[in-house]
Chains A and B, each alone.
Chain A
Amino acid sequence: MTTTSPPTGIAEGRRLPRRRSGIDHRAAIAIFVGPFAVLYLLFYVIPIGYAVYQSLQTVERDGTFGEARQVFGGLVQYAAVFQNGEFWASVLRVLLFGVVQVPIMLGLALLFALLLDSPLLRGKKFFRLAFFAPYAVPGVIAAIMWGFLYSPSLSPFSAVTGSVAFLGADLVLWSIANIVTWVFVGYNMLIIYSALLAIPTEIYEAAKLDGANNWQVAWQVKIPLVTPAIILTAVFSIIGTLQLLAEPQTLRSFSTAINSTFTPNLAVYTTASVPNYSLAAAISVVLALATFVLSFVFLKVTQKRAFA
């Protein structure tokens, strides 16, 4: 590793005055950071930039049968997105989904994590693995499995599924919510449980000496201390909800109640298949921005409450 550039003066001050260390560091940093930076640029930054560019294009024709040309259209596509009733219906649908499903899922995850961390249970290792196992099932496969389990004729629970239309228009959103919950509760449980394990035991002992029972320790000591972990899981759940695609798309072969614009990403896929790339790109950009803003706002709000 030789390079002609002079030693950098910005490395940490207490470094020993080694002969080549400054030079080495600059080269080493480039080698360590370079590959990720290049890939991140190629497959994150440039595609996003290109999607924004594409979303500003529009197709123009000379007369009805003239040759189609792509020209700069300004915010034409965005105007189309904001007037697109189906798109907004899909956004409202996933927001409703998130408002109900995320608290239920995280509530269950927190309950299981607290039980795993309490002295009440036997066989903790078994429960931990059994609850986590569904995380290894891809969304598509989970949707296929539950599709059969919901089916009125093929389900092992056909006594129930024969009379309740889990895949009908009224319930299908909540049937999807159940699939997502089934897959992700164990994962979120483990994140919260890991945070619980990181709390020093002395804190509990102090609380116990003060006469607190298990219930009070859970509410007043454990939950406040794992709030950062819960916030982390909440942010990832919000992002996941807005991006819902694999489960509804797969369930479409079991249910006629899921249309081609059921979720925002399904709308992107459908629009891109038309193909109307410019409009699809505009929807993608709006969705990515909405996701970013929502998770950012959530982080800010909860941080204020948690650390006020």
Chain B
Amino acid sequence: MSTSTVPRRVQGVTPSNRSGPMRESLISRGAAMLIMGVFTLYFLIPIYWLLVSSTKSVGQFTTTAPLGFTPDAIPNFAANIGRLFSYNDGIFPKWIVNSVLYAGAGAFLGTVIAGMCGYALAKYTFRGREAVFNVVLSGVLVPATALALPLFLIFSEIELTNTFWAVFFPSVVSPFGVYLARIYASSSVPDELLEAARLDGSGELRTFFTVAVRLMAPALVTIFLFQFVAIWNNFFLPLIMLRDQTLFPVTLGLYAWNSSIGQNPELRSFVIIGALVSIVPLIIAFLSLQRFWSGGLAAGSVK
């Protein structure tokens, strides 16, 4: 098990096939690049198609080449975005805001709570610690979708279905976050440092929020990102909880539009443009934060 934070190996140290026969090495290089090239197309063409389709007017969608930009792509795109954001009293931007609140605030709160719990399980010895950890671990094996109906039953008992909180609070709980935080804290926060902080008179909470949080940063960013994605992608819970369209997250909203294309074909272009708009924030978040989460992922997987 690795204890370093971000495992890096110097590329090129691995003695390559300099000694091997040159021809064989060329063939394997070519084959490797070919495989990766073909699959790059497989992974990116659907997203590229979505981008191209978002730059077309309703008429162009069926009449122009599906994978080629038209000359008026940029003005079309702007017009499409404008129509999307104003349609039905601006319901789409409302959905985006809802998703950002559910996923952003939920993942932030969830990360803090899971980080604290994982840290305590790693750094303090107390009675029942292993029992607590095992209960949390079994929670990892209970998928979110399996909880949707039970949560709905509980919330309808207290008549809180169809509210913001019915989707928000259940999403905050992340057993996997606690697991990852514990693994990471036990390998990256040295006991000696905590002792030193105590000798300096720092309280336990202050030590956590000033010293430990910094050392656990890669794991915390990872927990935040993956919980953000989990909430952003969550479908069953809002589907079963919410009736009021103004409370929908963007995925549920687009699902609802997509399901009624049959009665209202105008919605088709909104669904396509909306799909593009809703995935852009996630792709940007992942690309800009990838330095952090690739290190955090390693910690979880080498256990």
CB-defined contacts of B7 to chain A, threshold 8 Å: 194, 197-198
A269 touches B236 (CB 8 A): yes
B160: Cβ under 8 A from any A Cβ: no
Q: Is A29 part of the contact surface with B, judged by Cβ < 8 Å?
A: yes
Report if B259 contacts A (CB, 8 A): yes
- Which residues of the partner chain A approach B124 to less than 8 Å between Cβ atoms? 11, 25, 28-29, 32
The answer to whether A228 touches B13, judged by C-beta atoms less than 8 angstroms apart, is: no
Known contacts A11-B126, A156-B67, A281-B153; is A197 also within 8 Å of B49 by CB? no
Closest B residue to A254 by CB, please name it.
B258
Query: How many residues of B are counted as interface, with CB atoms below 8 angstroms from the partner's CB atoms?
Result: 108
Residue of A nearest to B297 (CB): A194
- Is A76 part of the contact surface with B, judged by Cβ < 8 Å? no
A163 at the interface (CB under 8 A from B): no
- Residues of chain B lying within 8 A (CB to CB) of residue A11: 124-126
- Pairwise interchain contact A39-B173, C-beta atoms closer than 8 A: yes
- Cβ of B79 < 8 Å from any Cβ of A? no
Are B275 and A246 in contact, with the CB atoms below 8 A? no
Assess whether A37 is in contact with B132, with CB atoms less than 8 Å apart. yes
Contact yes or no, A281 B279, CB < 8 A: no
Whether the pair A36, B154 counts as a contact (CB closer than 8 A) is no
Q: Kindly state the separation between the CA atoms of A101 and B176 in the bound complex, as whole angstroms.
A: 24
B251 within 8 A of partner (CB): yes
Q: Which of A60-68, A83-91, A113-121 contacts B (4 or more CB under 8 A)?
A: A113-121
Residues A10 and B127 in contact in the complex (CB < 8 Å), given A44-B173, A194-B301? yes
Inter-chain contacts of A97 with B (CB < 8 A):
none
**A190 to B255 alpha-carbon distance, docked (Å):** 29
A136 interface neighbour in B154, B208, B261, B286, Cβ under 8 Å? B286
Q: Are A112 and B39 in contact (CB under 8 A)?
A: yes
Contact, CB under 8 Å: A1 / B205: yes
Complex Cα spacing A122 to B136, Å: 42
Residues on B with beta carbons closer than 8 Å to the beta carbon of A204: 14
Task: Assess A44 versus B139: contact at CB under 8 Å? Given A51-B153, A243-B146, A246-B236.
Answer: yes
Interface size on A, residues (CB 8 A): 110
Q: For chain B, what secondary structure do more than half of its interface residues adopt (helix, strand, loop), or is it mixed?
A: helix
A35 in contact (CB, < 8 A): yes
Contact assessment for B125 and A129 in the assembled complex, using a CB-CB cutoff below 8 Å: no
Partner of A130, one of B20, B43, B61, B297: B43
Q: Is the CB of A281 within 8 A of B116?
A: no
- Contacting B at CB under 8 A, from A173-208, are 182, 185-186, 190-192, 194-195, 197-198, 201, 204-205, 208
User: A51 and B46: CB pair below 8 A?
Assistant: no
Contacts A/B (CB < 8 Å), 7 sampled: A31-B205, A46-B154, A127-B36, A136-B282, A186-B43, A195-B298, A245-B235
Q: Which 9 A-B pairs have the closest CB atoms?
A: A156-B66, A28-B204, A47-B150, A32-B120, A51-B150, A194-B298, A136-B282, A36-B117, A120-B32
Identify 11 new A-B residue pairs, CB closer than 8 A, beyond the known A18-B199, A145-B49, A154-B61.
A28-B120, A29-B124, A36-B116, A47-B154, A140-B254, A147-B258, A148-B272, A198-B298, A208-B14, A291-B143, A292-B141
Residues of B participating in the A interface, judged by any CB pair closer than 8 Å? 2, 7-10, 12-17, 20, 28-29, 32-33, 35-36, 39-40, 42-44, 46-47, 49-50, 53, 61-62, 66-67, 113-114, 116-117, 119-121, 124-127, 132, 135-136, 138-139, 141-147, 149-154, 157, 169-170, 172-173, 175, 178, 195, 198-199, 203-205, 208, 229, 232-233, 235-236, 239-240, 251-252, 254-255, 258-259, 261-262, 271-272, 275, 278-279, 282-283, 285-287, 290, 294, 297-298, 300-303
